[in-house]
Every structure is written in structure tokens, then in C-alpha cells.
Amino acid sequence: MQYFQFLIIIILSPLIQGTIKKLKANMQGRVGPGIFQPYYDLIRLLKKDMVISNVTSWIFKATPYIVFTSTVAASMIVPVITTESPFDVMGDVIALIYIFALGIFFMALASLDAATAFGGEGSSREMTVAILVEPMMMLSIFTAAISAGSTNISRIAGSGLIFSPSHVLALTAFLVAIIAETGRIPVDNPDTHLELTMIHEGMVLEYSGRYLALMEWAHYMKQMLLFTIAFDIFFPIGIANNVEISGLAMSSGIYILKMLFMAVLMALIESTRAKMRFFQLPSILGGAFVMALLSVLTYIMMGK
């Protein structure tokens, strides 16, 4: 099972997206789509023909495969239900951040390659957000890495729960990073239909058919992967340290409850907050970066 635990993220990530949408609709007094709607959308897109602009190059066609493959690679090095993984040697937090950055880089290139105004606008905004979010995410993880004595995610998860002021600051900053990386309110609005306000959606406007399905699926996987990393680092309660059937079964049940908790939290945040103007984002992202930096300094000075 430890060889295939990354399949949990690949298979269940659309379900988590559907659950968040359903919960958000219920909180807003709407019926909303079913929790399996993302699966239907992916199947529909995979069956559709693709419309590709004549001005695009190989970058536009290769980007969906690069983004999807890099996200799967990131899923393979992150422990999901057990810390015993054959890929834990490569599970370094620095490598993980660079894998995420690789996907963002090619998405930005592809949106520019299409030579559209909205694609360039979305690419510029995404790079601005990434510059603020990536260092914040790395500093947040470094706080837990220093206390665990390793930058390996499996070893951090296996070190157990550590509740201290530095970890509270790091967790708060990491939650802001999750919202920004997944393009959720108040940073972005995943349900918007106004091109002028799009960030992530603005970069995939020119994609259709199979290419769009791969991009959307990768986005769902990245969201669930970030949820998993948050629990691996800050709340590793319930994750198995072996490959026994009983331990894996209990770990799987606890993992499902953790994902449901994150789905409720994301739906609650989106239902109670309004999208911020783009020029106001540096204030909230900069504040979260300061919290991540303070978490590292607090741990160094206090030792906890």
C-alpha cells in the first residue's frame, strides 16, 4: 500500500473539490452541484475536441502534461497515510517547493504563449502572488523542519505533534499560503466569470478539451496535496509509521476526517469573506510572510 498511497490524492482530489463546492453552496443557502460533479466535468472535457490557436508553440501543448506530471511527482514524495514510503528519500521540502514552482512557471509561459490580453494579465498576477507565497510556504515548513532535525517530510511527520508558539505562527502563515496557492477567496475567486478579476483561471482561458481536463485535475490534486502537507507537518496525528493493515486502515479513516475538516474550513472562509482587490493582496500576503519569518525566529530564540 505504501507504494500506491499517492493514488489516493490522484483519485480523491476531485471529490474534495466537489465537497467544498457543495458545502459552500449549503452555507450560502443554495442547492449547489453534487459532490461528484468534478468527475463528470473531467470526463466531459476528456471527450471534447480541443481548439488551439495558430500562434501557440510547443510550450502551450506541453504545459498541461508538465503541470500534471509534476503534481503527480509531488504527490509521490508526500506521505498520505503512512510515513513508510519508497519515495521518502526524495521527499525533501525544498524539492517539493521547486516542483510546485515548475508547474507555475510553465503555466505562466503557456498563458503568455497564447498571446491574449487576459492570459498575460493572469500570468503577471500569478507571478506576483507566487513571489510572495513561495518564500512564506518555505519558511513555514522550515519551522517544523528545524524542530524535527530534518527537511524530509516523512521524518517531520514521524516526529509527532509539537504545539508551540512558533508552530502556531507557522501554521497560520501556511493556511494563508494554501488559500493563495489554490486560488481561493479572498486571494482569488475560483467561480468568477469576469476575466478582469481572474488569476488562476485567466491562465487557462485558452485551454479546452483534454488539455483543460489535465490542468483542472492537476489543480485539484495540488489543493488536496497542500491539505495533506499541512496535516503531515503540523498535525501528524493518526498517520501510520508502519505498513500493517490495522494501522493503515485507522490512518485512512483519520485522513478522511482531516480532509473533511479542511473542506469545511475552506467553505467557511469562502462563505464569510469577500474577494480582496488585487492591489490589497500584498498586505495580507506580506503579513503572512512576516508571521512565517517570526515563527522561525521564535523557534531559534525560544527553542520551541
Chain segment 135-176, per-residue pLDDT in tens: 888 888 888 888 777 788 878 877 766 677 888 888 889 998
59, 109 Cβ separation under 8 angstroms: yes
Task: Give me 15's grid cell.
Answer: 471529490
Does the residue 259 lie in any domain?
yes
Q: Which residues, 6 or more positions from 167, have their beta carbon under 8 angstroms from its beta carbon?
A: 143, 144, 147, 234, 295
Residue recorded with cell 467557511? 268
Could you write out the DSSP letters of every residue in 215-271? HHHHHHHHHHHHHHHHHHHH--TT-BSS--HHHHHHHHHHHHHHHHHHHHHHHHHHH
What local confidence, expressed as pLDDT, does residue 1 receive?
56
Does the residue 1 lie in any domain?
no
What local confidence, expressed as pLDDT, does residue 286 receive?
86
What are the tens digits of pLDDT across the range 123-138?
A: 888 888 888 888 888 8
What local confidence, expressed as pLDDT, does residue 64 receive?
92
Residue recorded with cell 493503515? 248
Does the residue 63 lie in any domain?
yes
What is the residue-averaged pLDDT of the chain? 85
Tally of domains within the chain: 1
What are the tens digits of pLDDT across the range 11-59?
A: 999 999 999 999 999 988 888 888 999 999 999 999 998 888 888 888 9
Cβ neighbour number for residue 94 with a 10 Å cutoff: 12
Q: What is the largest CA-CA distance in the chain?
A: 59
Does the residue 129 lie in any domain?
yes
Range of the domain at 256: 6-302
The three-point CA angle 125-106-12 to 5° equals 90
Please tell me the pTM assigned to this model: 0.90
What local confidence, expressed as pLDDT, does residue 131 receive?
85
What are the tens digits of pLDDT across the range 270-296?
A: 888 878 787 888 888 888 888 888 888
What are the tens digits of pLDDT across the range 237-283?
A: 878 777 778 778 888 889 999 999 999 999 898 888 878 787 888 88
Q: Give the lowest-confidence range in 78-87, 103-112, 173-182.
A: 78-87
What local confidence, expressed as pLDDT, does residue 88 receive?
65
User: Mean per-residue pLDDT for 93-107?
Assistant: 87
Task: Give me 218's grid cell.
Answer: 492537476
